[in-house]
Chains A and B, each alone.
With several copies, the nearest count.
Chain A
Amino acid sequence: MDVRDRIAARAAQELRPGEVVNLGIGIPNRIPSLLGHDAGIFLHTENGLLGVGPRPMAGELDPDLVDAAKQPVTALPGAAAFDSAQSFAMIRGGHVDVAVLGALQVSISGDVANWAIPGRDVLGVGGAMDLVVGAKRVIVTMTATTPSGEPKIVRECTYPLTARGAADVVVTELAVFRRRDGALVLTELLGDASIEDVRAATAAPFEVELEDRRAD
């Protein structure tokens, strides 16, 4: 299994039936195909649809139905369409249960940087800030390090912030962290990663409170 699929699969286990979930571009977008049909999750896309269904079959493409990545989607029975103010009212008002998103950096206190690289690419923010601030639970999915080996979990973000203290859960290919009392804590090792592996891939000290993995 591809490393990004493994991260997506572990993040998917955080979702509970009945929850309204917004999925970001990248790793989070791999979650739908990993979820069972009976997962009971309702997908929200900030461009105005609750009840996002699978990609359309060839020949069934509807140009009026896209997701936030502007890719074609379908609407499930029971879907609701709404304007952007209503959509972000849902997000900002705390009615979206979970946002799963990618990040460039996450600080050990849960600050998230996921929209811009300093000095360039500060011209697109989209709904990133709204989602990170508004969703009841924010799950960050990312590889532990950049392609060049720099840890993405850091003491303080050096990339432009999306929001402070916003990450509730961080899932990498090595580990799951949860924010407790304002700091990310290592709660689970993934695959055959050791605590030392995680420390080596993390640019900040952290507490360890390993939990039994629930059976599922």
Chain B
Amino acid sequence: MTVIHGPIAPEEAVAAIRSGDTVMVGGFGLVGAPLTLIDALVEASDADELTIISNNIGEPGRGLGKLLRQGRIKRGIASYFTSNPEAVAAVNAGEIEATLVPQGTFAEAIRAGGAGIAGFYTPVGAGTLLAEGKEERVFDGVPHILERPLRADVALVYAARADELGNLWYRGTARNFNPLMATAARVTVAEVGEIVPVGAIEPESVHTPHLYVDALVRSR
């Protein structure tokens, strides 16, 4: 579905997030993170008890680190909580639940969530702490574990450029998890650096086709 009529305010966009929701947030650390949307979530939303799916939980007082300080995160699913010592402290204090996933499995599970794949077998993590509670199965002599898809109510992503239909183009390593998350949520909001006319991104250069994008917000 694609019905985009120009960008909306970030405060309006984050109104889609309700208490108890699962929210995906793009970015590798702060690179490619939708910082304007995160700020709006911090400042203009009361939603709490959130499950955050993001590679990191920001940095102390930056990005998702602000939301963490507000005590609005119930659970984090990430590959690297360690980049925010306050997130580590919150986990150790029992204030938030943490689910640690190897980064490639994290990415693949989000892709699976968007692609209608109910599970996949990966050798990564087999025989380690992170396989606890997961089904193991041997293929061609190699132990694999069954991983389930990740999905969210709302995905907040960042792209350098959008066209007016919502096609997205990412720059450099700011792409990371954003195109995956855009596919795996009920509602996807894209924060973008610029909005260009329809047709200005050639078909072969579209990284995220517009059917995945529900609303556009300009970076502040």
Contact between A and B in the complex (any CB pair below 8 Å): yes
B80 to chain A minimum Cβ distance, whole angstroms, is 4
Tell whether A164 is near chain B: CB-to-CB under 8 Å.
yes
Residues of chain A within 8 A of B9, CB atoms compared: none
Distance between Cα atoms of A160 and B125 in the complex (Å): 11
Give the residue name and chain of the A residue nearest to B178 (CB): A83
Confirm or deny: A47 has a beta carbon within 8 angstroms of a beta carbon on chain B.
yes
A124 touches B104 (CB 8 A): no
Given known pairs A125-B100, A130-B104, A161-B127, the reply for A62 and B172 (CB within 8 Å) is: yes
B80, B127, B199: the one within 8 Å of A125 (CB): B80
**Is A94 in the interface zone, CB < 8 Å from B?**
yes
* In the complex, chain B residues 1-44 whose Cβ is within 8 Å of any chain A Cβ: 1-3, 28-29, 31-32
CB of B180 within 8 A of CB of A17, answer: no
Q: How would residues 166 to 178 of chain B score, 1 for a CB under 8 Å from any chain A CB and 0 otherwise? A: 0100111111111
* In the assembled complex, A77 has its CB within 8 A of some CB on chain B: yes
Q: Is A88's beta carbon under 8 Å from chain B?
A: yes
> A49 with B174: in contact, given A80-B167, A85-B111, A88-B104 (CB under 8 Å)?
no
A46 to B172, CA, bound (A): 12
Please encode chain A, from 87 to 99, with 1 for each CB lying within 8 Å of some chain B CB and 0 for all others: 1111111111100
Smallest CB separation, B182 vs chain A (Å): 10
Contact, CB under 8 Å: A75 / B203: yes
Are A48 and B175 interface neighbours, CB within 8 A? yes
A108 to B115, CA, bound (A): 29
- Chain B residues, Cβ within 8 Å of A88: 103-105, 107-108, 115
Q: Does B204 contact A (CB under 8 A)?
A: yes
Contact B82 A92 (CB under 8 A): no
Cβ of A128 within 8 Å of any chain B Cβ, yes or no, is: yes
Residues of A within 8 A of B (CB): 17-20, 42, 44-51, 62-67, 70, 75, 77-85, 87-97, 116, 121-130, 133-134, 160-164
Listed in ascending order, the chain B residues whose CB lies under 8 Å from chain A are 1-3, 28-29, 31-32, 55, 79-83, 87-88, 91, 98, 100-108, 110-111, 113-117, 122-130, 160, 163-165, 167, 170-180, 183, 198-199, 203-204, 206-207, 209-212
Task: Report 25 cross-chain contacts, Cβ distance below 8 Å, ordered by A residue.
Answer: A17-B3, A48-B173, A64-B173, A75-B203, A78-B210, A79-B203, A80-B206, A81-B171, A81-B203, A83-B170, A85-B111, A89-B115, A90-B209, A92-B116, A93-B113, A95-B183, A123-B91, A124-B83, A124-B100, A125-B100, A125-B102, A126-B102, A129-B130, A162-B128, A163-B124
Given contacts A78-B165, A89-B104, A123-B91, 5 further A-B contacts (CB under 8 A): A80-B203, A81-B175, A90-B183, A121-B88, A124-B80
